[in-house]
Structure 1
Amino acid sequence: MTSQRLFAVLRLLFAALGLVAVASQFGVTLANHYSIPNFFSYFTNLSNLITIVVFVIGAVRILRGVPDTRAWNVVRFCNTVNMVFVGLVFNILLTGGDVGAVIPWVNTIVHIVMPIVVLLDWIVLPPAARLRLVTAVVGLIFPVAYSVYSLIRGAAIGFYPYPFYNPAKVGGYGGVTLYLIALIVGLIVLALIVVLITWARRPAGARARDRVRA
């Protein structure tokens, strides 16, 4: 088995692991008659589901020998930013807090294992083409849109997926604003780091061509 095929198999295995984890937690939601829309309003669940799709498609592309495209590189980039963000936010802001009826092993998979695996996948298999810095801005679109959705939906129905979106938990909308500013700044830094990792992982010859074009 070639290394490329091995990576394809690993992507499929971790996609399966992520699916089992999310499905198991969804089973808890159904068994306890919790809100299904609320389940799919957690950034962690959405990001892990997106990762499953990205890993499956990525594995198929490898097995079929489909070359990278700029659009596919951006998709992988955004997914990497999202998942690393999941891991960082959980382990910095939410660890030790009340995570509700989350199954402990599922919690470990979706908040620790999968973010690490996605980052390693990006580092080991970086895009062949050089990403532009502007790509970092694209990586902010989904998290920012999600935050707007969470705030509007929370104000309408009183459910906030995370405490830092809830004005009652963080000292009003001023506290929410401060958290959002911190999260956006963190996202920008994270997105830039992911782009720079890509540049560093490119072959020396490719980096030399980039400098010539510049």
Structure 2
Amino acid sequence: MIQRMHGAARGWRILFALVGWAGLIAQYVLLLKGGTRSVLGSTVVFFSYFTILTNVVVALALTAPALFPDSRLGRWTATEGVRAAVAMYIAVVGIVYHALLAATWNPQGALAVVNQILHTVMPIAFVLDWLLFVPKGRLRWIDPAKWLTYPLLYGLWTAIHGQIVGWYPYWFIDIGALGWSPALVNFAALLALFLILGLIVVALDRALSALGKGDSSLTPS
């Protein structure tokens, strides 16, 4: 049973790693083709989106344990805490997009397909990965507070970069358009969402542990 579950996890991760990397590459190519900035400027803009950065993390967290399980990155991304945090981050990507951003634009053609991969398919795929294949019962209630480091660093980068170039990736944290106070209030609300979802993840981890869920063969030695 353990070997069967391990094989399912590896197959799942390879499949969605391919989907994730394909979506990221396609999004980058479409940005270069449709943009008016230089390659360098377009690249900086590309990696200024939380969606892109988090999908890169997701793709790495799927690829490394499946293909390079003995590498430092493979062992680190296979740990329960890392996978839980990444599941929470990408869940926020999907929630925020569908709640706040989906109604503000209408992508067509290839862009619409890529958009769904990054905002819908990958969030669902990685959350299911965490639910189905990751050992449960080892998360702590303090972990969600620690997981806020990543969005806090992203917010700091966004504020600094935005002040320098006068551009922000998302309307709800656009300091130039909204002003500091509304933008900071919106960002604080986002941090609260991260924290709440993190606590839900820990609660699920505890509950699923009690039911004996999760594949212990995936735990790095």
Do both share a fold (TM > 0.5)? yes
1:52 alignment partner AA: A
Identity of aligned residues (%): 30
Matched, 1:151 2:159: yes
**Which of 160, 165, 169 pairs up with 2:177?**
169
Shift of 1:8: 0.6
Contact between 2:172 and 2:183, CA under 8 Å: does it hold in 1?
A: yes
Query: 1:111: which partner in 2?
Result: 119
Matched, 1:134 2:142: yes
Higher relative contact order (CA 8 A, sep 6+): 2
Q: What RMSD over aligned residues (CA atoms) do the two structures have, in Å?
A: 2.7
Shift of 1:78: 1.8
Shift of 1:121: 0.9
Which structure 1 residue ranges, 4+ long, deviate > 6 Å from structure 2?
Answer: 61-64, 67-71, 99-102
2:138 alignment partner AA: R
Shift of 1:63: 9.8
User: What is the number of residues matched between the two proteins?
Assistant: 203
Distance 1:63 1:10 in 2: 18
**Which of 22, 38, 54 pairs up with 2:61?**
54
Matched, 1:41 2:48: yes
Shift of 1:126: 3.0
Structure 1's 146 and 99: CA in aligned 2 closer, same or farther, altered over 3 A? farther
Query: 2:185: which partner in 1?
Result: 178
Contact between 1:70 and 1:129, CA under 8 Å: does it hold in 2?
A: no
Structure 1's 62 and 17: CA in aligned 2 closer, same or farther, altered over 3 A? same
Query: 1:14: which partner in 2?
Result: 16
Once the two structures are superposed, residues 37-66 of structure 1 have per-residue CA deviations (whole angstroms, 9 ceiling, x without a partner) of: 1101111011111111100123247799xx
Structure 1's 148 and 69: CA in aligned 2 closer, same or farther, altered over 3 A? closer
Distance 2:206 2:126 in 1: 17
TM-score by length of 2: 0.82
Structure 2 stretches of 5 or more lacking a match? Answer: 214-221
Structure 1's 201 and 174: CA in aligned 2 closer, same or farther, altered over 3 A? same
Shift of 1:29: 2.2
**Which of 194, 199, 202 pairs up with 1:192?**
199
Once the two structures are superposed, residues 59-78 of structure 1 have per-residue CA deviations (whole angstroms, 9 ceiling, x without a partner) of: 247799xx977982222122
